[in-house]
Amino acid sequence: MSNHGNVFSLIDTALAVDLVLYYFVYRIFKWLLSPYFFPRFPNIPGPQPQSWFKGNLGQLFNAKGLRFHQRLVDRFGGVVKIYGFFGDEQLYVSDPSALQSIVVKDQDAFEETAVFIDTNRIIFGPGLVSTTGDVHKKQRKIVAPVFSVPQLNKITPVVYDIAEKLADVLTREVHASRATTGSSVLDMSEWVSRVALETIGRTVLGYSFDPLDSPHNNPYTSAIKELIPTLFSLSILRQFAPFLSRLGPPWFRRKLVEWTPNRSIQKVKDMSDIMDRTARNILREKQVMMNDANTVYSQGEDKDIISVLLRANERAAVGEKLSESELTGQMTVLIFGAQDTTSSALSRILYLLATNPDIQTKVREEITTAFAGAKSLEYEAVSELPWLDAVIKETLRLYPPVPFVRRTAKNERTLMYSTTNSGVADASVVVPAGTTLFVGIAGANRLESVWGPDAKVWKPERWISGENPASIRLPGIYSGMLTFFGGGRSCIGYKFALIEMKIILATLVRRLKFSSTRDEIIWNLSQIISPSVRRPANDGSYIEEKGLPMTVEVIS
């Protein structure tokens, strides 16, 4: 009987294994075939998938993909069906009504994607960009006050000091270049990248990464600059981050990364280690200074944002305090998030001023009059310069440094949207839980229903004349555009970014004149947009190199 029992036991086990295998095979086939036999969005227009494996992801996450992103909106409208892996149906959304639900009204139902959260948690630790729900709200509550107007007033002298130093350095570079080459062409993308990092370092951390007047070789500087392009090159592989982040304990996952024979992955690991190590060292130095009775920090004279954050964290209730890992996460995120986006925006603004010399002249005249021989203005005064403000607003509207973000539907929701240029919602789509949505920031910022028939034209005067249509608005935190997003995931430091750009531009344009060269400038997508120069090669092809060459002249 025991032998028969063992046989039946083996049969039962085999049947159980078979049933489990059959179930998983069924689920896999259902997942693979459902887009073709049970489509989520049968009535939503969109392009055909480029690949059965990657769908449209190869077009969306492509250095030359900016035109594809805009074509989706122009050809198919405000709600577009696109494809992810194995035919997974996703949505590309730029319609104002639908965005109102995603960004504000139902924002808790449309969370950051697991790919975004898990990748950021691995790289930055538990900071603002790698947390969700109540944890994110707790962190935001602590961090938000450090970007208040009174605090920004305190740090504006530091920004002016750095901007003046950059103008001095560029003046010397112009004279040196003329003496050696006869021309004064400088790579302005390199210089605005350096000044953006130095400004963020000094004002946020109270730490100088790049003195500007000498070659920079800080490993942290290199890590910050290289991280975004490297991550973008891994966009397809990053889609598997949620799965990999759950494979065993942290030490095992780190070993997997170390064993992975991929150069880009190893670069990301090394850069993450450098940023974390630097942030922890700076944090400990700050804590020592704050506890030292002989320093101004101990008396509450905080001169940088992180010191203010540490002070606020000390006063917070026990359940609301940030841990050391959370604090270092905020430090790295604030530096990383602000440096690339600010340098991207400054590069584009200088390029547009160089190619529109009449607008540059108006901005310079306005600045010269306002400064009246002084080297700085108060926070409110520089904030209210109409032409400078208009140039920045229009550039951020038409050319947002981050052209799209993604969301995942946590719960089923119905989105209302418009199928006409009127902008009036006349259709709806049911979005099942688990659906990935691309939020088209650039596409929404260029809608004719919002900005008028010249929506795709760079026209700073629209902000001075007040001609923008007011009947339809985007749910953005800044000037009715989505550049800094909106809702609970809006850019927490956008006021800082604006005053930083205004001070740097006011200083540079007052002292220097920028003109375009004959070089062809290409704007590439690497999550954040950056410029490169396209030049003919000897074999008849073309080569591209990072950079934004401009002719720079000193105004006597």
Strand 520-526 and strand 528-536: pairing?
antiparallel
Q: What is the pLDDT of residue 453?
A: 92
For the chain, the average pLDDT equals: 86
Q: What is the pLDDT of residue 260?
A: 73
Average pLDDT for 80-100: 95
pLDDT at 419 over 50: yes
Q: Is 100 annotated as a binding residue?
A: no
Angstrom distance (rounded) from CA 323 to CA 398: 39
User: Closest Cα to residue 98, out of 347, 388, 424?
Assistant: 424
* Backbone phi, psi, residue 416, to 5°: -90, 145
Lookup: tokens for 473: 């608005």
Q: What is the pLDDT of residue 208?
A: 87
Angstrom distance (rounded) from CA 93 to CA 99: 7
CA separation, residue 351 to residues 22, 399, 548 (Å): 59, 12, 8
Angstrom distance (rounded) from CA 503 to CA 401: 19
Angstrom distance (rounded) from CA 529 to CA 525: 5
Q: What are the residues whose beta carbons fall under 8 Å from the beta carbon of 65, sequence distance 6 or more?
A: 59, 525
Angstrom distance (rounded) from CA 425 to CA 417: 5
Angstrom distance (rounded) from CA 112 to CA 502: 31
Helices (H) and strands (E) in the chain, counts: 22, 13
Give yes or no for a contact between 210 and 220, defined as CB atoms under 8 angstroms apart: no
Pick the CATH number of 57-136+401-481 from 3.40.50.261, 3.30.43.20, 3.40.718.10, 3.40.50.300: 3.30.43.20
Query: Tokens 């550039």, residue?
Result: 395
pLDDT at 526 over 90: no
Q: What is the pLDDT of residues 539-555, one digit of tens each?
A: 878 899 999 999 999 99
pLDDT at 392 over 80: yes
Angstrom distance (rounded) from CA 405 to CA 16: 43
**pTM for the structure as a whole:** 0.89
Give yes or no for a contact between 146 and 529, defined as CB atoms under 8 angstroms apart: no
Helix (H), strand (E), coil (C) string for 94-119: CCHHHHHHHHHHCHHHEEECHHHHHH
Give yes or no for a contact between 346 and 501, defined as CB atoms under 8 angstroms apart: yes
Considering only residues 513 and 377, tell me which one the structure prediction assigns the higher pLDDT.
513
Average pLDDT for 114-129: 82
Chain centroid offset of residue 174 CA: 32
Give yes or no for a contact between 457 and 399, defined as CB atoms under 8 angstroms apart: no
Average pLDDT for 518-528: 92
pLDDT at 6 over 70: no
Burial zone of 488 (CB within 10 Å; 0-12 exposed, 13-18 middle, 19+ buried)? middle
| Share above pLDDT 70 across residues of the chain, in percent, rounded to a whole number | 86
Average pLDDT for 126-154: 86
Q: What is the pLDDT of residues 255-280, one digit of tens each?
A: 667 777 778 778 878 888 888 888 88
Q: What is the pLDDT of residues 15-61, one digit of tens each?
A: 555 555 654 565 566 556 666 667 889 999 999 999 988 999 999 99
Give yes or no for a contact between 309 and 359, defined as CB atoms under 8 angstroms apart: no
